[in-house]
Each structure stands twice: as C-alpha cells, then as structure tokens.
Chain A
Amino acid sequence: MATIAHGDHGHHEESFLEKYIFSQDHKMIARQFLFTGIFWSLVGAAMSVLFRLQLGWPNETFPFLETLLGKWAEGGRISNEFYYSLVTMHGTILVFFVLTAGLSGTFANLLIPYQIGARDMASPFMNMLSYWFFLLAGLLMLFSLFLQTGAASGGWTMYPPLSGIRDAKVNAGSMWGTDLWFFSMSMFIVSSLLGGLNYIATILNLRTKGMTMWRLPLPVWALLFTAILGVLAFPPLLSAALLLEFDRIFDTSFYLSDIVVGGNLLDYKGGSPILYQHLFWFLGHPEVYIIILPAFGITSEVLSVNSRKPVFGYKAMVYAIGIIVLLGFLVWAHHMYMSGMNPFLGSIFTLFTLLIAVPSAVKVFNWLTTIWKGNLRLTPAMMFALGFVSLFISGGLTGLFLGNSAIDIPLHDTYFVVAHFHIVMGVAAFFAMFAGVYHWFPKMFGRYINDTLGYVHFYATIISAYAIFIPMHFMLSLPRRYYVFSNYQTFNIFEDVSKFISVFAIISFMAQILFVVNIVYSALKGRKFTSENLNPWGSNTLEWTTPAEHLHGNWPGEIPEVYRWPYDYSTGHGDTDFRPQTEPLQEGEEAH
C-alpha cells in the first residue's frame, strides 16, 4: 500500500504513518492543510448558521437546537452567552484556521516547490511541524467548545478588559475558554512562523536553474510576500497574548486599570486597554493581507491561464503587492479610530489607509485587462476567479468609507463593517481558494473534479453571498454583535432584512456542503488524471511537468531548467498557444 513510483534519487519505502500522517512531503502536507481547513470551515460555517437562526428568527424556538446543544439552547433558543461564543469562534476559526492556515498552508505547500522547481521545502521537517502545531492549535480551540463555562466570547479580537478579567460574573467565556483561546493562538503563531520561514527560505534558495525572481509565477510572489508579512506580524500578537495572560493569571496591569466590578474597585492600576488593541491590530491588519495576498496570486494565475493571455502588467502586479505589504504595516490603527486613542493618529492612518486603495485599484484594472481580448475558457476555476474580481471590487470600495476616519465615526462597529470585511477578505478569499482547488485539483488528487457541480457551486455561492452581504450595507446604523435588536426602535426595522439574510446564509451553507461532497467524491471516484494529458489547462508553469502520480521529489529525473517567464500565452510563436517555462526561446522570440 505504501509503495510509490520510484525515481532515481533516493526514494525509499514509506510506512503508512510516514506517508499519510507524519508526512514531510509538501504535497501531502498541502492536502493535510486543505482537509483540516475544510473541517474548520464547516465548523465555522455551521456556527454562522446557528447564530443566523437566532438573528433571523429571534422569537421562534427550534427544539432540535436543545437536543443538539443542551444547556446552551434551552427551550430551543440559543442563549446570549452561547451566541457570543459562537460569533467569537466563527471569527477566530474563519480568519485564522481557514483563511490563513487553510488557504496559505494549502497553496504555499502545493505551489511553492512545484512552481519554483524544487524537490520539496527547504526544511520538510519544519514543514511537518508547522502542520502539527496548526492541528494542535485547532484541537485546543475545539476543546474550549466543551467547557462548562463556554468557549471564549469576547469577540475574535478578544479586547481586554472583557477578556482580561478572569471572572465569570463579568463574562463566562472569560474563564478557561479565553485561556484556551490564547494558548491555541500561541500554538497557531508557532505554526505560522515555522511555515513562513520555510516558505521564504525555499523561494529564495531552492529555485531551479534559470528561475530568476522575475520569472516566478505570481502565486509564488504572493506567497513570498505573505510569508514575510506573517513572520513580521505574528510575533506581536504572541507578546500581546502573553501580557494578557499575565494580567489574567498573575494580576499584572498591562491592559487593566481602574476597574469597578459590582461596585468593587479591583487592584489593577496603570494599564491601558488601548495598548492591547495596538498590539492586536499590528498583527490583525497585516493578517487581512496574509489572507488576501495568496488570493491575489491564485486569481492572477487562473485568470491568465484561462484567458490564454499573459497576466497584464506582471511587474506592476508584483510591485503592487510589495507596496501593499509595506503600507499594510502602517495602517493598523484604522481599526481604532473610535478606541479613544489620540485623534491626531487617526489622521495619519486615514492617509495611509486610503493610499492602499491605489495599488489595489491597479490590481483590479490589471485583472480586467488580462481578460480583455482573451479567449476565455470558463472552467469552474475561472468562474471563481472572475467572482473574486467582482467581490474584491465590491468589498474594496466600501473600505474607502471605513478607512476615512470621519466617516468611520458612525460606521465603526456596525453591520457596514461586517458586510465590508466579509466580502473583501471572507467571501473573496474563499473564491480564490475555490478557484485554486478547482484549478489544481488534478495535481492534488490525481483525478478531475466534477465540473457541473462546480458551476452549480459557483452560482449558488456568488448569488447567496451577495444576497447576504449587500443588504447588510444598508443596515449601517445597527451595531454588530447584537443578540437581538428588537428593543431599539431605531433598529427593529431590520427584522425582515435579517430574516432574508439568514435564509441565504443557509442556502450558501448548503452550497458549500455540495463543494465538499464534490471534492471527496471526485478525489475517490472522479475521472482519472493520466499521463496522456499531463497539462490539461495548457499551462506554462512547472507543476504541470511532473508525472500524474505523486512522487517524492516531484520530478523523476533531473529538475527541469527554466528559460522564460511563466506567462507566454498566445505569443504567436509555436503551434500551441502556450510556451512552457521549460521551453528555450525560439528565434524571433523576446524574453520578458
């Protein structure tokens, strides 16, 4: 069972454990990240369905919820404490476990060695550790759901003092649930650093002969910048988490001061909750670029291959990502305009935040020009990449409202924010992830995915996603994280809209199950990806020069040499409309 095809460079028999569990092979680790990510996205999405039931039908009871959740849904209605645990866990799981680890982990592992022409990561062992720390982080978070006092419920940002006072009277989720949240995040940060350092080292050192930096496919560029961001941004979160645990366990006062609970003044003196927010968002903002940059890369690649055209403005795309990374470190406090920090800071962060719109706009225009005058092959992957462009435009534009500190005064912490970030870094990043899975499915699983179900998945998802989030923009006066809002005459007018959104949330969830069913079924029973056609999409990049079956070391013989950039599509030379990177320049051809 554990025999694999042999090349000529030191393959050995692998036991089941070595091959499937403690694997050090980048392709297997990519699939481990993918499946763990899928597990977490189902958990996170199911949570959103649960709290959408409460928001859509606040006055109804669902007896099955009590059967399922016991004391958290007495009488068939989710309790407010559990509701806050759900929104906290939904955010944490989706942002970190799915869109960071699931997206970056999967595609960095799959694409970096393949596309730069390396046999594996610089340190396969570190790569394995990265996955196992991620799994550990997930298990800790999973345990916290079964605590007597409930999982963390301070919102995914975990602002103190709500998360800092270890007192069930203040917040039940601030007991062990919060400790586990921070322990889990610490493990996650370790995983992310192990992965990130490895990706950077691999891309810089293990490129094959001829693979200069300016010949790297865009996903690799994007993943390189993502890794740099992660390595620089995650450590501050670790320190923030440590200091908060000190406040919680040893009664230090890093973030807490002058706190009165139940009429009793606590002993904390001199700390500032705003310090935590600075440390958190110093990661938290780059984090959204950690999520969206791989999505940029995947989209650029899928659009180019399926338009049969080079990606427009390749270098501009790389520079745009670079500028976004740079500015990404200078905008964190735009999450804090209303936090009580010095308003003068708000003006500086407004400037940098709106500046980011420039490279982002360049990327959008370049994508549109990439498909312009193309010969579009509308595979499900291509549909999702096109959907990504639409979502990124829609969600990016609303950022111009929120990034402008003056407009943010009324909009901060309302449904407008929820709509904005769900579209631009939630749904959009998911679309890129879907595009990637559909596009590289044959490479990952040796079989083709079912296209028909892919199209159904696409339309169901894009329609329901917009049906959920466009109405939310109009709920711009309603503060987020409200368990009910019928007690306000200002907000109770949103009850019908909320119901509408909940219906589409359920539809969207059903569509994602279809996707998972499709993956599992196609990976086991789909049409085989055979050596007769190793390059089904007519792609220039190196991953399509490897054999159909997975090989430890990727290429059976020598690693291919690279002679050109990856986007020579429809150049007019040769008999096909693509010129793989391994093909030397012909006479009359110009290098890019």
Chain B
Amino acid sequence: MLNILLTLAVIILFYTVALFLGGIVERVRALKGEELDYTKNNQTHGKLFLIYGIFFLLMFAFSFKYMDFASLPKAASNWGVEIDELFVITAWITGIIFVITHIALFYFVWKYRGEKDKKATFFAHSSTLELVWTSIPALAMAVLVVMGLKTWFNVFPNKKTLPANQLTIEATGKQFNWMLRYPGPDGVFGKRVLSKEFVSPDNELGIDWTDPASHDDFFASELYMVKGRPVRFNLGALDVLHSFYLPHFRMKMDCVPGVPTGIGFTPTMTDDETRELLKSNSHWASIDPETNEPRYVKFNYELACAELCGKSHYGMMMPAHVVSQSKFEEWTKTQKPFFEVNKDKIQAWLAARNLSTSTSKGGNDHAAFNGEDTTKKDIKPDSNYTKVESATHNIADNKAMEGKQ
C-alpha cells in the first residue's frame, strides 16, 4: 500500500513539475508579447521534426535488420512460397511509397517552416497533378489485385479436382485442443452423425461405429504430413469458432460449428530441411540453456489457433511434422485406431442400442492411405459427416461446400 501511495506521489510530482515548467515558458512568451508569434517555434520545430524524421526512417530501416531473427523460415508449402512472393512484391511497392512520401513530409516541414516576411504560394488546384496521382495508384492497385487473385484462386480453385494421392485429415477445434482424425488404412473416414444419440463425452464427434470405415480411423496427438503429397484438411469446430493456423505453411482457415470448411496445400519442406535452414538464423543457431544444444535441433512446425475461442485460446498448440512417405507409413503403424483402443466401451454402447458393426471392407483400400492414386474412388472428403435431423440443411451445406473447395 505504501508503495502505491509513494508511486502516486512521484507521478503527481512529475506532472506538477511539468505543468510548472510549461507555465514558465508560456509566461515568458507572453511577457515578450510573442504569445501568438510562432516564428521561433517554427524554427525549432521545423528542424526538430526533420531530425525526428531522419531518426524515424533510420529506426525503420534498422528494425528490418534487428527483427531479422523473428522472420519465419522459408514457407514450407507450395502456396506459402507463392504468398511470400506476393508479400515481398507488396512490401517493395508500399515501402517505396512509404519512404518517398515521408521524405517529402519531413523535408517540406523543414523547408517551408514559417518565417515572418515569407509568403505562402497560392496553389489550390491542378488537374494534371491530380490525374497523375489518381492514375498511378490505380495502376499499382490493378497489378496487386491481379497478382493477388491469381494466388487466391490457386489456393481456393473454383473447380474442384481432387489431386491424385491426396492425404485427407479431419481437424476439429474444441476448447482447448485440436482433434486430428486420420482416415486410417482404408482412406475413408467413418461417418459422423450429429444427433444426441451418437454424440457423447466419449464420442464428441458423433462417429457412427456401425460404419466399418470408422474402425481404422485414428486420432493423432501430433500432425503428420508428407512432403510433396497434397494434404487437405476438413475443418470443423465443436463448440465455438477456432482457426486452424499453420504459420510455417502460411495457411489458415476458420473452423466454424455447423459450417464445414477446409483448406489444402502441398508441404514442400520436411522438418529436417527447415532445421537445416534455421542454422543461419541467429536465434535458432544460439544455444538453448536448457538442453545445451542449438535451438534448431528441437525445431518442429506448430499448429496454432488464430480465432479467439475462450480463456485458454493461446493454449491450442500442437506440434506438426512433414516427413517422407516411408517415415509417414512407419508412423501410421504406431497409431492405434480409436475403435481398437476403446473396443469394449464401444461394443457395450452398440449392444445397448441393439446395433452391430458390419464387417470391415478388408485390405485392398490400404492403397488410398499410402499415397496411391485414389481419384477413381468415390471419396467425398467434406461430406464425411451427415446430419440426421434436417434434409434441407444438408443441401445448404453442400452448396456452401461447392464454393469452398
């Protein structure tokens, strides 16, 4: 308490002194009869503003160098690389305008600081000038729009063609973690039914256990993708909005309860390749005091939530990896299907409802999951959950989906 009072006293003293000093300066100006004469102030502040301007531009340039460590490594996805190029082009265009206009601003203020017997030039209008600086930005904008939309339609093509050997992963956000579902060796997700019968604390996604396709689906605690193999995320959320954000891949898409969304890309850099790049980054090359190793050794990609989702929004971190196809297959072998792990529980649940599981489809679907051409098969990546209660609802969803592919 005493500390608070003391601090308050110091602060009040500070402002009193400031008021007092400011008052004296004004009093002196008034005594000299210069209270509305800004000639001296013009001199002082014309120069001071120019000095500030030089300092400002230098600091701005310096911050690029200083903040260099903070930039992310080279984008690890095909679209990421394209987006970064677009970013850099925009940065150059805006950077040039920024520097030119600021130099003009600081220079004009210094150059035309008011003097007693100087006169301002009456210059109210010039059609030529105005035409010039309407059309130049318009042209620059046209270039940016065209380039931007090209990339945009690459990421979200209007016509949906399923890439061959696409890996589809279902990511569902909930407070406060991600549920990542892989379709398992059959390459098909088990159906989901969003009804009170199916959804329960043990089965938040409402997976239909009578669907044999659900039996090999597994949940992963870390995200694994394959280098060079297109990956598509079917996104959803259980409770509130979340946003599926992979900073290293420059990818992001909101997860919306009731509205299926999705995003796809092709990873281009494995974990190891990015680690290699980070060796030249001052932060990542430095020694981590906890492990006594350079930081890049422990580097991995991360999945984050980018839409405020409640009090632990910041806690939705999940490690992500890009590996070779063979390593991916090794990893999938270590993953146990949810159905297997919880077999007793699920069987009891089924028995209580007089339901049974149909026989499994068998091994020939294995191919789909391991990266072979699956385009001939009837896989609908986004329609892997159905809603029982309203038919119209499904139509609306399908429409929404067509746009989103």
Using CB atoms and an 8 Å cutoff, list the residues of chain A in contact with chain B.
64, 67, 80-81, 84, 153-155, 159, 161-162, 165, 170-172, 256-265, 268-274, 307-316, 338-340, 342-344, 346-347, 350-351, 354-355, 357-358, 361-362, 364-366, 368-369, 371-379, 383, 386, 389-390, 393-394, 397-398, 400-401, 404-407, 409-410, 412-414, 448, 450-453, 455-456, 459, 462-463, 466, 470-471, 474-475, 477, 479, 481-485, 487-491, 493-494, 497, 513-514, 517-518, 521, 527, 533, 536, 567, 569-572, 577, 592
Checking B15, B60, B104, B130 against A362 with a beta-carbon cut-off of 8 angstroms, the contacting residue is B130
Task: Report if A263-B152 is in contact (Cβ < 8 Å); known contacts: A84-B311, A258-B257, A393-B101.
Answer: no
Check if A361 sits within 8 Å of B199, measured CB to CB: no
Does B261 sit at the interface, judged by CB under 8 A?
yes
Does B112 sit at the interface, judged by CB under 8 A?
yes
| Complex interface bits, B1-27 against A, C-beta within 8 A gives 1, otherwise 0 | 101100000000001001101110110
Check if A470 sits within 8 Å of B241, measured CB to CB: no
Check if B19 sits within 8 Å of A453, measured CB to CB: yes
In angstroms, Cα B252 to Cα A588, docked, is 64
Check if B145 sits within 8 Å of A171, measured CB to CB: no
The 4 closest A-B pairs by CB, nearest first: A263-B201, A257-B258, A342-B403, A343-B156
Task: Report if A368-B313 is in contact (Cβ < 8 Å); known contacts: A309-B120, A409-B250.
Answer: no
> Which residues of chain B from 78 to 100 have any CB-CB distance to chain A below 8 Å in the complex?
79-80, 82-83, 86-87, 90-91, 93-94, 97-98
Checking B120, B121, B130 against A313 with a beta-carbon cut-off of 8 angstroms, the contacting residue is B130
B-side contacts of A373, CB under 8 Å: 112, 120-121, 123
Check if B15 sits within 8 Å of A264, measured CB to CB: no
Task: Report if A482-B148 is in contact (Cβ < 8 Å); known contacts: A362-B130, A383-B45.
Answer: no
Checking B49, B63, B253, B311 against A172 with a beta-carbon cut-off of 8 angstroms, the contacting residue is B311
Most buried by A among B3, B94, B194, B240: B240
| Complex interface bits, B102-120 against A, C-beta within 8 A gives 1, otherwise 0 | 1011001100111100111
Check if B124 sits within 8 Å of A400, measured CB to CB: no
Question: In angstroms, how far is the closest chain B Cβ from the Cβ of A454?
Answer: 9
Question: In angstroms, how far is the closest chain A Cβ from the Cβ of B64?
Answer: 8
Question: In angstroms, how far is the closest chain A Cβ from the Cβ of B151?
Answer: 4
Does B200 sit at the interface, judged by CB under 8 A?
yes
B-side contacts of A451, CB under 8 Å: 25-26, 29, 41
Checking B70, B115, B254 against A494 with a beta-carbon cut-off of 8 angstroms, the contacting residue is B70
Q: List 15 A-B contacts (CB under 8 A).
A: A161-B239, A170-B175, A260-B238, A265-B194, A269-B390, A272-B256, A309-B122, A312-B124, A343-B155, A358-B141, A393-B102, A453-B22, A477-B72, A487-B315, A494-B70
B-side contacts of A364, CB under 8 Å: 101
Check if A372 sits within 8 Å of B108, measured CB to CB: yes
Does B355 sit at the interface, judged by CB under 8 A?
no
Check if A378 sits within 8 Å of B38, measured CB to CB: yes
Check if A489 sits within 8 Å of B83, measured CB to CB: no
Check if B257 sits within 8 Å of A371, measured CB to CB: no
Question: In angstroms, how far is the closest chain A Cβ from the Cβ of B16?
Answer: 9
In angstroms, Cα B148 to Cα A491, docked, is 27
Check if B19 sits within 8 Å of A351, measured CB to CB: no
A-side contacts of B389, CB under 8 Å: 269
Interface-side segment among B207-215, B222-230, B296-304? B296-304
In angstroms, Cα B397 to Cα A571, docked, is 66
Does B32 sit at the interface, judged by CB under 8 A?
no
Task: Report if A485-B125 is in contact (Cβ < 8 Å); known contacts: A161-B240, A260-B204, A490-B72.
Answer: no
Q: A394-B98, A451-B29 are in contact. List 13 more A-B contacts (CB 8 A).
A: A259-B238, A264-B196, A274-B256, A307-B112, A311-B124, A374-B108, A376-B42, A407-B148, A413-B252, A413-B307, A452-B21, A479-B243, A527-B26
Check if B52 sits within 8 Å of A462, measured CB to CB: yes
Check if A482 sits within 8 Å of B258, measured CB to CB: no
Task: Report if A406-B149 is in contact (Cβ < 8 Å); known contacts: A339-B254, A371-B109.
Answer: yes
Task: Report if A410-B252 is in contact (Cβ < 8 Å); known contacts: A162-B310, A570-B122.
Answer: yes
In angstroms, Cα B253 to Cα A207, docked, is 51
In angstroms, Cα B397 to Cα A340, docked, is 12
In angstroms, Cα B123 to Cα A309, docked, is 7
Check if B256 sits within 8 Å of A273, measured CB to CB: yes
Does B349 sit at the interface, judged by CB under 8 A?
no
Does B378 sit at the interface, judged by CB under 8 A?
no
Check if B310 sits within 8 Å of A406, measured CB to CB: no
Task: Report if A67-B393 is in contact (Cβ < 8 Å); known contacts: A378-B41, A527-B30, A567-B124.
Answer: no
In angstroms, Cα B247 to Cα A410, docked, is 7
Using CB atoms, name the residue of chain A closest to B313.
Answer: A481
Check if B25 sits within 8 Å of A452, measured CB to CB: yes
A-side contacts of B201, CB under 8 Å: 262-264
Most buried by A among B45, B59, B258: B258
Check if B19 sits within 8 Å of A497, measured CB to CB: no
Using CB atoms, name the residue of chain A closest to B16.
Answer: A517
Interface-side segment among B132-140, B182-190, B337-345, B363-371? B132-140
Task: Report if A340-B60 is in contact (Cβ < 8 Å); known contacts: A265-B195, A364-B101.
Answer: no
Most buried by A among B3, B86, B257: B257
In angstroms, Cα B259 to Cα A259, docked, is 11
Does B69 sit at the interface, judged by CB under 8 A?
yes
In angstroms, Cα B41 to Cα A383, docked, is 11
Using CB atoms, name the residue of chain A closest to B387.
Answer: A258
Check if B49 sits within 8 Å of A386, measured CB to CB: yes
Question: In angstroms, how far is the closest chain A Cβ from the Cβ of B307?
Answer: 6
Using CB atoms, name the residue of chain A closest to B27.
Answer: A527
Question: In angstroms, how far is the closest chain B Cβ from the Cβ of A469?
Answer: 11
B-side contacts of A393, CB under 8 Å: 97-98, 101-102, 105
In angstroms, Cα B45 to Cα A271, docked, is 58
In angstroms, Cα B26 to Cα A57, docked, is 40
Check if B35 sits within 8 Å of A448, measured CB to CB: yes
In angstroms, Cα B45 to Cα A270, docked, is 62
In angstroms, Cα B112 to Cα A308, docked, is 11
Check if B252 sits within 8 Å of A409, measured CB to CB: yes
Check if B18 sits within 8 Å of A453, measured CB to CB: yes
In angstroms, Cα B120 to Cα A377, docked, is 11
Task: Report if A338-B252 is in contact (Cβ < 8 Å); known contacts: A371-B108, A450-B23, A462-B52.
Answer: yes
